[in-house]
Amino acid sequence: MSASHPRYLWWNGKRVAWEGATVHVTQLGWATVPAIFEGIMSYWNDAQEELFVFRLDAHLQRFLRSQKMMRMARDYSVAQLTEVIADLLRANECRQDTYVYPLAFLGGGGGFRRLSSTEPAATEITITTRPSPSHLLQREWKHACISSWTRISDNVMPPRVKNLSNYRNSQLASAEASMNGYDTPILLNAQGKVAEGPGACIMMVRDGQLITPGVTESILESITRASLIELARDLDIEVVERTIDRTELYIADEVFFCGTAAEVTPIVSVDRYPVGDGEQGPITSRLERAFHDAVRGKDRRYARWVTPVGAPKAVPAD
């Protein structure tokens, strides 16, 4: 792998050299309006010299559901894409935490028009990989604000699926937050209740209970969220999925984001109200540790969540 990019990416059924994977400029634009994607993390386990892809099956199932939702042809199965991703990670000799990015878009131009067809639209798929060091256990905290932008909703642009276009809403909110001196926005839904972050779900702790909005509150059906709910229950932490008021965040004991890229990210203030005592809280810390051990394949109780890719052994230095 060169310093700036991996050797290969996968495109429509073939592993191809990075430099050779180009599209004509006329394909840009409408083709990406219904484009859908996945963000998948794979974690390096030093002791086992192995790379583990976290919840690959769940991510690929969501990838296919997003394709269905956007009326795209689904030419590859979960099993085929699983093999493709493992092969790509091996070919790129990934021996560090690595982000995997499958993207499906409408090839051949005219994507917007073709969406109205009754036939599923012809779909192109690319899969790329890039190094993405985990920030778990690094004590990276964020200061948040409530955004003046409303989260997109199911009857407007369904946040349930990972449509690329959904992220314009996230981008507007993130830009506003950073211009106002915050690290991140938290978006409310059309009902004025807490939805999620720009690229992550949200959880809070009140009186020992872990509380998170339900999947009909204008959120992505997050795989990390589902995993943390399971981990929390295994740790005997009570979990409740319910509507959250904005002001509950101001008086919560703990608040954190969760997601593939966010992993577990503590929020230590909301609209300048310190969360708890303004530091990462104890339940967040327990969940972060449990998540870390699960994703890296260290806690074998969650072995079913991780796919070993069969990483090539390091070539010994002369």
Ligand X SMILES: Cc1ncc(COP(=O)(O)O)c(C=O)c1O
| Interacting residue ranges for ligand X, rule: CB under 6 A | 39, 196, 199-201, 220, 222-225, 259-261
**Min. distance of Cβ 282 from ligand X in angstroms?**
23
Maximum distance among all alpha carbons in the chain? 63
Pairing mode, strands 263-270 and 142-150: parallel
In which element (H, E) is residue 283 found?
helix 282-295
In which element (H, E) is residue 107 found?
none
Nearer to ligand X, 56 or 121 (CB): 56
Nearer to ligand X, 189 or 222 (CB): 222
Nearer to ligand X, 184 or 280 (CB): 184
**Beta carbons of 70 and 166 less than 8 angstroms apart:** no
Tokens of 120: 């599923």
**Beta carbons of 51 and 311 less than 8 angstroms apart:** yes
**Min. distance of Cβ 137 from ligand X in angstroms?**
18
**Min. distance of Cβ 48 from ligand X in angstroms?**
24
Annotated catalytic residue within 14, 68, 142, 162? 162
Nearer to ligand X, 139 or 168 (CB): 168
Using CA atoms, how far apart are residues 162 and 261, in angstroms rounded to an integer? 14
Using CA atoms, how far apart are residues 226 and 294, in angstroms rounded to an integer? 13
Pairing mode, strands 184-188 and 142-150: parallel
Using CA atoms, how far apart are residues 26 and 314, in angstroms rounded to an integer? 42
Catalytic (active site) residue 313: no
**Min. distance of Cβ 108 from ligand X in angstroms?**
28
Active-site amino acid positions = 162
